[in-house]
Structure 1
Amino acid sequence: MVSWWQALTRAAGRYPWPANVLLYAGFFSGGDALQQVLRGGPADWQHTRHVATVAVAFHANLNYVWLNLLERALPGRAPRTILAKVLCDQALGGPVYVSTFYAGMSILQGKDDIFLDMRQKFWNTYKSGLMYWPFVQLINFSLIPIRWRTAYTGLCGFLWATFLCFSQQEVFLCLRVRNGTHSK
């Protein structure tokens, strides 16, 4: 019997684009679902569906094309090449991903001003991402085979979404305790 890993490897070899897109979307939306569970309270499955929709419709596809374009433009794994890929990814790709996430979520949530969240949250999210994503992409460009790079980015997106929510919740809880509004 073929193991799940062998089946996944074979699927990624035959159909790299759809395999990576589905893995990316599954990981990324899984991060949203996990942070909701860890936060407590009822799950917001509509929000998770919105995250999955943005991931499948845009982020995962863009990521797949972007990483392949970077590899064609800057082929290889020499240290200078890897550094150039990371810099291009953070300077060009990062702002696009952050902007489209907030705009896409706002569209799916039916907000009147689809750019409001982006204007309010872009810089903090982007600056926080600069503490995480360059290291992720350094590993990605130096160790991960091209056929798995989008899936790897989705896995790291799972961790990133969980971290961001925990950080946000901790700040919220600290403010409530400091203001005397925290109850157990």
Structure 2
Amino acid sequence: MSFFIIRAQAFSKKYPLTRGMAVYAVIWPVSCLCQQVIAGNKQLDYAQAGRFCLFGCFFVAPTLHTWLTLARSMWPAMNIRTAIIKAVLEQVTYTPLAYACFFFGMTLLEGRGVKQATTEVKAKFLPTYKVGASVWPVIQTINYTFVPERNRVPFVGMCSFLWTCFLAYMKQLDIQKLAAKQVLV
């Protein structure tokens, strides 16, 4: 067993993206299943969890890894000022694209068309972004200030466990009900 662990550590050190991909391949579907349990679903939707696994592993982890690598090269200092700059920039650059791609991509993975995916993005993007803007800058400031570079994507992955439960909740919301709630607010 220790041979496997040593080989896995060497592989992840040589190919750091794989650490994030492994974390997201587990956390995203588990978060989806947790959200289903919290929602009181009598039967778990494993196909939906599989879609979360694919999206988390093959889209979120690579794009987040790329963003973190770019942010590190542009602002290499690990101090509170630089961390806040990175966190704010992430909220106005990476995050909007990530949320739009999440709703659009997951809808396409469900086998629904581009029109339905576009409608879902229009209905769910802003409410999701508002919540995320109140949570992620704090998490990312901690990440950029205290977490070593090699552990940033896995750290964000762990933090995203609860966030992904929220995304799964937002994903399952009925668009008409969500639109009605927005009109009342």
Give runs of aligned pairs for residues 140-151 of structure 1, distance below 5 A. 140-151=143-154
| Structure 1 counterpart of 2:165, one-letter code | T
Q: Does residue 86 of the first structure (1) align with residue 87 of the second (2)?
A: yes
Alpha-carbon distance in structure 1 between the residues aligned to 2:33 and 2:123: 23
Judge conservation of contact 1:11–1:19 (CA < 8 Å) in 2: no
Q: Which has the higher contact order (CA 8 A, sep 6+)?
A: 1
Length-normalised TM-score, structure 2: 0.81
Q: Tell me the amino acid that sits aligned with residue 12 of structure 2.
A: A
SS at match of 2:112: coil
Q: Structure 2: how far apart are the matches of 1:131 and 1:140? A: 16
Match of 1:134 in 2: 137
Find the counterpart in structure 2 of residue 71 from structure 1. Answer: 72
SS in 1 for 2:145: helix
Structure 1: tracts of 5 or more residues without a match: 170-184
Distance 1:5 1:37, change over 3 A: farther
- TM (norm. structure 1) is 0.81
Deviates more, 1:154-163 or 1:97-106: 154-163
Identify the residue that residue 158 of structure 2 maps to in structure 1.
155
In the TM superposition, residue 35 of structure 1 has moved relative to its aligned partner by 1.4
Cα distance 1:45–1:39, how it changes in 2: closer, same or farther (>3 A)?
same
Tell me the secondary structure at the aligned position of residue 19 of structure 2.
helix
Q: In structure 2, what is the Cα distance between the partners aligned to 1:17 and 1:10?
A: 13
List runs of 5+ in structure 2 lacking aligned partners: 173-185
- 1:122 aligned partner: 125
Instruction: Compute the displacement of 1:68 (Å).
Output: 0.6
| Count of aligned pairs | 169
Alpha-carbon distance in structure 1 between the residues aligned to 2:141 and 2:49: 28
Contact 1:28 1:55 (C-alpha < 8 Å) held by counterparts: yes
Deviation at 1:147, TM superposition (A): 1.1
- Equivalent position amino acid for 1:157 in 2: S
> In the TM superposition, what is the alpha-carbon distance from 1:83 to its structure 2 partner?
1.2
Q: Which residue type is aligned with residue 157 of structure 2?
A: G
State the superposition RMSD in angstroms.
Answer: 2.5
Partner of 1:37: 37
Q: Deviations over 1:50-95 (max 9, x none)?
A: 1111112211100011101000011111222111111111110110
Taking the aligned partners of 1:52 and 1:168, their CA distance within structure 2 comes to 14
Kindly tell me: are residues 126 and 53 of structure 1, through their superposed partners in 2, closer, same or farther at Cα, counting changes over 3 Å? same
